[in-house]
Every structure is written in structure tokens, then in C-alpha cells.
């Protein structure tokens, strides 16, 4: 199994555990309420959406990364297309970041 699939599986696990907020409104709410431990914005999200979440996460000191297509993210969560999601569990957020760092290193 490749790293990309591992990350998507972790996102799926996180969603099943009820530890995600997805969609623009819910993701933004999780960030502002201090519940978001990691924000993932789809690589297909508009530049406006990406900038908005990057700025918001910088302000609230929440790690943010760009990963996956909207279909991929939605499918991993068992939902429709998703341009953004927030992980609200520290441990799961760390596990996803660890996988992303590994896959980031592999791409160099």
C-alpha cells in the first residue's frame, strides 16, 4: 500500500471515529473554536479557498496542508466531494502528518 492510500485510510478512520469536521463552514468553525489539530485542504480547492484556510490556520496556529482531490477526500470520509476538513483528534492528526512527511520525503 502506498503512502497516499495510507493517508486516505487514516482520514477514513478519523471520520469513522467522529474526529473530523468537513466542508468549509464546519472546518472554519472547528478552527475558530480551537478544536482543529490539523486542516487538510484539497489540492483541487480554489486558490481563494486555499489562501483563506492558510491565513486562518496561520492566525489560529493550526497546521494546514494541501492533499488529495475533492473526490478522494470525500470518498475517504464516506461523503460527497470535500474541499476541506479539520482533524479534531491530536493523535490522529499526528499520525496523518507523520505519513504526509514520509510521502513528502519520498517525492524529493
Q: pLDDT by residue (tens digit) across 83-107?
A: 999 999 999 999 999 999 876 555 4
49 torsion bin: left (phi>0), alpha (psi -120 to 50), beta (else): alpha
Three-state SS for 78?
Answer: coil
Cα separation, 40 vs 52, in Å, equals 13
Do strands 64-66 and 84-87 pair parallel, antiparallel, or not at all (unpaired)? Answer: unpaired
User: Would you give the distance in Å from CA 96 to the centre of its chain?
Assistant: 9
For residue range 3-42, what is the model confidence (pLDDT) as tens digits? Answer: 999 999 999 999 999 999 999 999 999 999 999 999 999 9
pTM for the structure as a whole: 0.93
Amino acid at each position: 500500500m502506498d503512502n497516499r492510500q495510507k493517508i486516505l485510510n487514516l482520514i477514513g478512520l478519523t471520520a469513522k471515529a467522529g474526529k473530523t469536521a468537513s466542508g468549509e463552514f464546519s472546518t472554519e468553525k472547528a478552527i475558530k473554536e480551537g478544536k482543529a489539530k490539523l486542516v487538510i485542504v484539497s489540492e483541487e480547492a480554489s486558490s481563494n479557498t486555499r489562501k483563506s484556510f492558510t491565513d486562518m490556520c496561520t492566525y489560529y496556529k493550526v497546521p494546514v496542508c494541501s492533499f488529495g482531490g475533492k473526490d478522494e477526500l470525500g470518498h475517504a470520509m464516506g461523503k460527497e466531494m470535500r474541499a476541506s476538513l479539520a482533524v479534531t483528534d491530536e493523535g490522529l492528526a499526528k499520525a496523518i502528518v507523520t505519513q504526509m512527511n514520509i510521502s513528502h520525503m519520498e517525492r524529493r
